[in-house]
Amino acid sequence: MIKREELFMKVAVIGCGTIANAAHIPAYMKNPEAEIKYFCDIIPERAEKAVKEYGCGTAVTDYHDVLKDPEVVAVSICTPNNMHPVIAIDAMRAGKHVLCEKPAARTWARCSTSMSAFVRIVRSPAWAARLPPRPSPAAAR
């Protein structure tokens, strides 16, 4: 028999700043099938504040600790942009699903490196981009 807690997708939020608190964490908290197992930030107080504020998870300061946990299925990368490719590649190598908002990197070369690593590691490229809504041709007239 499958236990209820086994049905949850355990995730980690890496970076507990503005985007994490404005979008990622609230979305996970509203999802009945997700459980935030870790809040990770290089500023310990941010991770600890998230644990207290949201009433779940464990505060950590090193994202490598998160990646070592086999229960963690996915990570949200909510760090400064220059860290996106490094953490994303490490997470993919650890077998985790990665949610990383734009930009994937600060330069095209770093983005290309991330995508190449993604294709090598995952072997099934997928890329999602959220674009601003465009006005319809009828609205432009």
Burial readout 49-66 (b: 16 or more C-beta within 10 A, e: otherwise): bbbeebeebbbbeebeeb
**Annotated catalytic residue, options 3, 52, 96, 102:** 102
Active site residue 102: yes
- Find all residues with CB under 8 Å of 114, minimum gap 6, and list them: 84, 85, 88, 89, 104, 105
Place of tokens 């049905």: 7
Instruction: Report, as residue numbers or ranges, the catalytic residues.
Output: 102
